[in-house]
Structure 1
Amino acid sequence: MTTATATIETFDVREKILATGQRIMGGKGFSAVGLNEVLASAGVPKGSFYHYFASKEAFGEAMLEAYFQDYLADMDRTLRQAGGTAAERLEHYFQAWEHNQSFEDCQGKCLAVKLGAEVSDLSEAMRASMKRGTAGIVTHLSQAIEAGMADGSLSVDDPASDVAQSLYQLWLGASVMVKIVRNVEPFHKAMVTTRQILHLPA
């Protein structure tokens, strides 16, 4: 086996463990899932785990970093796609949020919602990773709002960064309420409020 092949295989195994952990922990939470469950589902021997991660906490931190990297890449594709106004792209982003972060099995796509409070209390490293990731989301939203102000498709009463923070917190709270009430009405109300904040037609 060449060095290049070994490197690729190492990367693939690591990514498989991370993706499997994201999917399972996105449904059950971090503490409720043992490493044995993740590794069995990924088809990776337990002894191999510590070749890639020093501990479950280190694994959790890496999982969050990978999650937010993918999430922000998806945001870029949605908010910077050609065609339409910036306001329309923002609406598409929040519509995708509702679709991906429903009260049903989100297949690891709602990791920030599922793990936010839990891991922030468990681990400073994971809390810091969560903080960096959510700050990146807010920055992307702020840039999209500024683009909407520039193309005239929306307007706001406060600085774009403040509005972006408020919108993210609004939708994060709506995601939690959706899990509590087991229907998507909180998302519908969040969209109404979002349109009001951005001065969009009802």
Structure 2
Amino acid sequence: MPVTSRNTDTRRNILDAAQRIMARRGFSAVGLNEVLSEAGVPKGSFYHFFASKDAFGEAILRSYFTDYVADMDRVIAGADGSAADRLMAYWQQWRQTQSVDDCQGKCLAVKLGAEVADLSESMRLALKEGTDAVVDRIERAIVAGLEDGSLSVDGEPRAAAQVLYDLWLGASVMAKIHRSPAPLDTTMTATRQFLHL
């Protein structure tokens, strides 16, 4: 069947509905009928758009990370000030989005990471590629900060980017567990220290 604008819109509606629901409840707890109902799509049409629930999960993650890194690029490129200011604007946005809904957050890497990495190799790889893309952008921001003198790190920019991303992921999990933004606030302080700001 040829790809049409209507097909693309319907597929996108399904993915968007799934992201909203799975950000709250995870992957395994959500049934396909619930997602299709939320998207306003007839139940019989799911397999027209996705070959399996695994393929659906992979598509959700790829769509999520495509949107996430585009937004990340806007935040890091669009903020005023030095490269360090722009990178800190990204971390501030992270803190805000992970503090919503009693610190349950909106990050699918946080919500689904451990769950789907064991369920499906294709979803694990989609998570890996998506998180690598995030770390790539953090690394570029660190390099820009080193070039304009607005920050410094001990060691290589890639290793620093990976440490910071891992730190923020862990803090987001802890914020969910404690239902408190305190781990995010501690991580913000540690990030400033790590970047010598």
TM-score normalised by the chain length of structure 1? 0.93
Correspondence for 1:184 among 162, 181, 184: 181
Q: Does residue 1:56 correspond to 2:53, yes or no? A: yes
1:157 counterpart letter in structure 2: D
Instruction: State the shift of 1:101 in Å.
Output: 1.6
The CA RMSD over aligned residues, in Å, is 1.6
Residue aligning to 2:72? 75
Aligned in 2, Cα 1:71/1:134: closer, same or farther, shift over 3 Å? Answer: same
Figure out how many residues of one structure are paired with residues of the other and give that number: 196
CA distance in 1, matches of 2:54, 2:102: 24
Bigger shift: residues 94-103 or 163-172: 94-103
1:110 counterpart letter in structure 2: C
CA distance in 2, matches of 1:112, 1:40: 24
1:29 counterpart letter in structure 2: G
| Moved beyond 6 Å, runs of 4+ | 105-108
Correspondence for 1:65 among 55, 58, 62: 62
Q: Work out whether residues 24 and 108 of structure 1, in 8 Å CA contact, stay in contact via their aligned partners in 2.
A: no
Instruction: State the shift of 1:83 in Å.
Output: 3.0
Identity of paired residues, percent? Answer: 61
Trace 1:1-202 onto structure 2 (pairs within 5 A): 7-81=4-78, 83-102=80-99, 104=101, 109-200=106-197
Bigger shift: residues 95-104 or 68-77: 95-104
CA distance in 2, matches of 1:57, 1:79: 32
* Runs of 5+ consecutive residues of structure 2 not aligned to the other structure: none
1:41 counterpart letter in structure 2: E
Instruction: State the shift of 1:93 in Å.
Output: 0.3
C-alpha distance after superposition, 1:154-196 (max 9, x if no partner) = 0111100000000000000000000011110000100111001
CA distance in 2, matches of 1:64, 1:169: 18
* Runs of 5+ consecutive residues of structure 1 not aligned to the other structure: none
Aligned in 2, Cα 1:57/1:146: closer, same or farther, shift over 3 Å? Answer: same
Q: Work out whether residues 99 and 105 of structure 2, in 8 Å CA contact, stay in contact via their aligned partners in 1.
A: no
